[in-house]
Structure 1
Amino acid sequence: AEGLEHAHDQLLRPGLNRPTVIRLRQFVRVPFRPLPLTRRNVFHRDGHRCQYCGISSERLSIDHILPRSRGGPHSWDNVTTACLRCNVHKGNRTPREAGMLLARQPRRPLSGPLFEAQRQMASGGHHEWAKYVDGWEGEAGDAAALVA
């Protein structure tokens, strides 16, 4: 492996900066692990915005589109980000029954490693990764554009 980008303020030892981007000289197979369905991952997928009203707030919640009390699964396709106001308004109803529209249909993100790289960059870290991650534009909502 070779270092392509380095943290100039972090030394591993004198004369050797910590690499932040490395290029592997041979392919290393990484076992596939599905991306876990967590609040943090759902918020990142949805660009940290309510999918009903579009507000970006620190007081976001997870909404089950088909409520779990009505048989809805806890799955990528049935959860979305909602502000507390929209989540309370929707309550135990479907968006249609509540007269609400989703900004986009939720889906499972394409790739665990790509999703994680985008999440790291969106949170303000590792800006140097951007030129190596296809499709990254550098805005919070762009991660959602790379969802299947």
Structure 2
Amino acid sequence: MAKVLVLNASYEPLNITSWRRAIVLLLKGKAVEVEHNGKLIYSDFPLPTVIRLRHYVRVPYKEIPLTRRNILHRDSHCCQYCGYLGDELTLDHVIPRSRGGGDTWENLVTACVRCNVKKGNRTPDESKMPLLKNPRKPYSSLYFEITKHLKTGMHQEWQKYVIGA
């Protein structure tokens, strides 16, 4: 079903919610509509795609779990050595575990089987296989979720509310 981006009073992304919850926030006067897609719920009541809260809400930092799925999403399901896009992708340790490299956002990248085997137990410099982009931890879990929606081609109106997406 349709998802709605919820912005804080300061226009920073706060949450992604269902369209039903967004309508409740609008009807209770807790939020205002910022964007809609032209679809109507009732006559003269458009379906919102972005709403903004009337009052500022403080949000605690939320850690993003380090999972295979999240690494693949961060790297856009693309080998970070050769650029291969496909289904047969593995995770590679930039600094091999045998050399003290750990399971961290900065040390794990997506790699095709061929590049992973070719690199072996060496660093990218030693194997003369430079990374396409340096791995880093994503900004926030919400930023991570919003970029997933943007990559599917849906909710392009959210783009202007996300820095770096």
Q: Which of the two has greater helix per residue? A: 1
The TM-score, its normalising length taken from structure 2, stands at: 0.69
In structure 1, the partner of 2:33 is 3
Structure 1 counterpart of 2:61, one-letter code:
F
Equivalent pair of 2:62/2:140 in contact (CA under 8 Å): no
Structure 2 counterpart of 1:122, one-letter code:
K
Which digits, 9 at most, give the CA deviation of each residue in 1:39-67, with x for residues without a partner? 23222322332111122223222111122
In structure 1, the partner of 2:69 is 40
Per mean C-alpha deviation after superposition, the further-off stretch among 79-88 and 108-117 is 108-117
| Separation in 2, partners of 1:40, 1:17 | 35
Distance 1:10-1:80 versus aligned 2 partners, 3 A rule: farther
SS of 2:54's equivalent in the other structure is coil
| Separation in 2, partners of 1:52, 1:20 | 37
| Separation in 2, partners of 1:7, 1:82 | 38
Structure 2 counterpart of 1:98, one-letter code:
S
Q: Which has the larger radius of gyration?
A: 2
Q: Please, which runs of 5 or more residues in structure 2 have no aligned partner? A: 1-30
Q: Please, which runs of 5 or more residues in structure 1 have no aligned partner? A: 137-148
The TM-score, its normalising length taken from structure 1, stands at: 0.75
Structure 2 counterpart of 1:6, one-letter code:
H
Q: Which of the two has greater strand per residue? A: 2
How many residue pairs match? The answer is: 134
